[in-house]
Amino acid sequence: MIQNIEKYLDALFSAHASVSSLEEALNTVKSNKELKDIFNDPNVTLEEKKNVTKELFAPSVKDFIADLAANGKIDSLGEIIEAYISALNKQNNVANATITCVTEPNDEQLKGIREFVLKQENADDAQIKIVKDDSIIGGFIVTIGDKQYDFSIKTKLDSIKQKVMDSARNSAVTSENVLAVLKKDISDFELRTNSEEIGTVVRVGDGIATIHGLDHAMYGEIVVFENGVKGMVQDIKRHQIGVILFDSDSGVEQGTKVKRTHKKAGVPVGEGFIGRIVNSLGEPIDGKGEIKADGYRPVEQPAPSIVDRQSVDTPLATGILSIDSMFPIGRGQRELIIGDRQTGKTSIALDTILNQKGKDVICIYNAIGQKASSVAKLVNTLEKAGAMDYTIVVCSTASEPASLQYISPYSATAIAEYFMHQGKDVLCVYDDLSKHAVAYRALSLLLERSPGREAYPGDVFYLHSRLLERSSKLSDELGGGSITALPIIETQAGDVSAYIPTNVISITDGQIYLETEMFNSGFRPAVNAGLSVSRVGGAAQIKAMKKIAGPIRIELAQFRELAAFSQFSSDLDPETKAQLAQGERIREILKQDQYNPMPVENEVMIIYAATKKYLIDIELDQILEFEKELFEYVDTKYPEIPEAIRTSGEMSAEIEEKLVKAIEEIKEEFTK
């Protein structure tokens, strides 16, 4: 749609331009290529263009045509004339209507249609245009402004078909009673005039369609183009709306009709999604057939209110020793995983998913803008470990439109909310929100929103806050279900103060910071204990872990400080040497292989051995081997120790005594 069309209409009204003169001028310009080239040539002056129009066009329109040509808008003349006619009719209370039909209506039918138009628009007169279209089979469609009244036979047949399909879907229809169902549906069918608000595409490109005419469309509403492509209203202006497309825009062009659905964007949800891979619209992409949905949830939902929540008090063990001991995650928490590329962010999230096996936690992995090969590799890992039995993968690859990448995490959260409201615990991984912000920035710039810092729109903070606030632990009155969110953010050169990282840090309950230097030095998982934090703290730990894990962070901090100073000194006192040795051994036990999550009872045992300094006389390069043998020895000789920690979550004096005995016995054998 031409920008600032009102000023051109004002100029025509001031000149009292006649419609016939304008249409004649339009035909002249269209039929004369040389004239059109003169008007579009910026080197031709306004005066020269006025001289040309003086001889060709009526006095009431000649100056207007010259000015339009001077502004480089001569190609918009047809659009301006349509708007001028519409404005004149509105001023004179004349309704414009288009009749789409197979055969032209007779005088009596035309009279009835005219009366219908006058009544609907409360107009004094009506201008009716007839368009032939064999595809409607019979009957007719009346279009008045932005509304469409469908009396076609095609729509009647489609309505009957849909009713029969719905009936068959919702009842146990067998070959014996199918005919009876058909007869009943057809006999009970009640025809209703299908009145719809329609719009017209005025501009399309880069997955964005600008639409004129859908004046009552809501933000976030799904609209359907006449070729079947769906889109979502994302921008509302005075005379037009901006729609993001969920498919290729190749079949959408200027003039394409658009209809409202009166439905907010949403996804199907249900138990059938567990173990499946779906796209951002909830459609299966794993080749395993359709998914039976139990319901439908909007992708955008208000976050639970304060009274609907309860405090985080139940651990969600990751199986990663450094995380569970120092910055634990609780069910209903939002813990950010942040670091540079290739530092093991996805691995931590994946290990956490693997560790939920047998713990009645449904996991959702949301891949945003990832390579399809990377997602396939991850799914293969989950399948080998048996984790797909309780996992849903919501995927929008890098090749998909920015619109699908934008709604992907909201769709994943909608699926998670279905299970949460059933009283279940859900773990939701967003990998990653940096790419999500980039997709939203692309959409916003295409929608001509004002850019802010780093070209992101001003509401980019709200983008992630309204997403992550939906993760919570519901009150017992609402079933006590929870969504635990693990958003991932990629930093550039370790800069956590960049725009998107600081935004997400501020709306999460802590962060796990992965350090590039640690990763490159072979220390994995490369978790920086100094910059990582959990704002839930001990509330998300079992009592046994809380009791013994306290000294770890302090001893690691002391070790880092002493290690820095010891570089400049060759002669260290025994106490400093002992502290350094203790710190080195704590660091060593925090090393862990990928895809090898550790049960919480094993975590408690090795931390106890380290913090009580039972490892001080074990060579550093033998610590991990000793750890392995300790677990095997306890499982064989003292199985009651891990069983007691696992079931009660506590370490009684009796169990502690047995653990000390087991450590001393295995040390004796190990050091022989």
Q: What is the DSSP string of 31-92?
A: H-HHHHHHHH-TTS-HHHHHHHHHHHS-HHHHHHHHHHHHTT-GGGHHHHHHHHHHHHHHHT
**Beta pairing class for 257-264 and 221-225:** antiparallel
**Alpha-carbon gap, residue 465 to 581, rounded angstroms:** 44
CB 53 within 8 A of CB 65: yes
Q: What is the dihedral of CA 610, 613, 615, 616, to 10 degrees?
A: 130
**Any idea which residue has 């209703």 for tokens?**
192
**Which of these is catalytic: 203, 309, 466, 535?**
535
Neighbouring residues of 609: CB distance < 8 A, sequence distance ≥ 6 = 615, 630, 663
**Beta pairing class for 194-205 and 257-264:** antiparallel
**Any idea which residue has 């909830």 for tokens?**
282
**Any idea which residue has 């080749």 for tokens?**
287
SS3 assignment, position 429: strand
**Alpha-carbon gap, residue 636 to 619, rounded angstroms:** 24
Task: Return the half-sphere exposure (C-beta side, CA atoms, 13 A cut-off) of residue 10.
Answer: 4
CB 428 within 8 A of CB 364: yes
b/e sequence 239-259, b meaning 16+ C-beta within 10 Å: ebbbbbbbbebeebeeebbbe
Name the percent of the chain in helix, strand, coil, to the closest 5: 50, 20, 35
**Angle made by CA atoms 630, 635, 636, in degrees to the nearest 5:** 100
**Alpha-carbon gap, residue 453 to 502, rounded angstroms:** 13
b/e sequence 175-211, b meaning 16+ C-beta within 10 Å: eeeeeeeeeebeeeeeeeeeebbbbbbbebeebbbbb
SS3 assignment, position 481: coil
Take residue 316 and report the two structure tokens written for it: 């969600």
Is residue 309 annotated as a catalytic residue, yes or no? no
**Alpha-carbon gap, residue 247 to 227, rounded angstroms:** 11
**Alpha-carbon gap, residue 500 to 515, rounded angstroms:** 18
Residues 404, 407, 413, 416, CA torsion sign: negative
SS3 assignment, position 130: strand
Just list the catalytic residues: 535
